[in-house]
Amino acid sequence: MRTSEIMRNIKTIMKREIKGYFESPLAYVFIVIFLLLIGFFTFNVTSFYENGQADLRAFFYWHPWLYLFLIPAAAMRLWSEEMRMKTIELLLTFPVSVGEVICGKFLAAWLFIGICLSLTFPMVLTAMYLGDPDLGAILCAYIGSFLMAGAYLSVGLMTSSFTPSQVISFVLAVVICLFFLLAGFSPVIDIVSGWTPQWFVGIVTNLSFLTHYNSIQRGVIDFRDILYYFSVIVFMIFANALVIQNRKAA
């Protein structure tokens, strides 16, 4: 009985948040900007047609870098808006737990990002029209991108609970996500490996969103990569819960 009640509460929060996205211009602006940018970088910056290969490596290459700015922008309102509008006190008086509220907000935002990602399906159709791409590898890359988006989102959700300022939340999320991204970026790895032990380089590299995303993008879904992303999500949600609990108790 308690499990069904928890799921019902989370579903209610999800509906509230999804409705909040699509009742404002934010969702539509985000979708348009995401699709325009991913199309521009894929076809213009990386010369998709000139590569002579019917694959989407150029397309998926840009996901971590676009997510670095777009997902914190989508997440910055999740708690900051509640604090700015003074609705957080009312929300926390509802017969739902803090964990249920956080999960509902996170899942709604993750679903929204998933909708944005699914709208890039013309890219797959383009690759299929031009040749015979490996659809299994493309599916793996989409799964990896969705998981990575969830990790980015969990960071943005956490920073949003720090302050009523959406700008500060955005900047904090970008800085934290940038660390997780650059930790697996080849030029950074080369610099760090020049003056630190190899075991330390390995630890830093394994902390990166990019490392695990690139692993999945190759067409092999490793349980360790999935575990990594869910570990990041759970940790950030737990940290978010501590912040909100302290605010509720204050």
- Give the pTM: 0.90
Per residue in 189-241, pLDDT (tens digit) is: 777 777 777 777 788 888 889 999 999 988 888 899 999 999 999 999 999 99
The pLDDT value given to residue 1: 45
User: Predicted confidence band at 188 (pLDDT cuts at 50, 70, 90)?
Assistant: confident
Does the CA dihedral 223-118-136-46 come out positive or negative? negative
What is the reported pLDDT for 235?
96
Cα→Cα distances 112→57, 106, 124, 207, 215, Å: 24, 10, 20, 26, 25
Confidence bin at 66 (pLDDT 50/70/90): very high
Please give the pLDDT value at position 52.
Answer: 59
Among 45-49, 99-103, 109-113, whose mean pLDDT is lowest? 45-49
Tokens coding 177: 């996500």
Q: How many structural domains does the chain have? A: 1
Domain that holds residue 153: 2-249
* Amino acid of residue 56: L
Average pLDDT over residues 106-131: 90
Q: How many CA atoms lie within 13 A of 13 on its CB side?
A: 27
In this prediction, residue 43 has a pLDDT band, given cuts at 50, 70 and 90, of confident
Highest mean pLDDT of the ranges 43-47, 124-128, 180-184, 213-217: 213-217
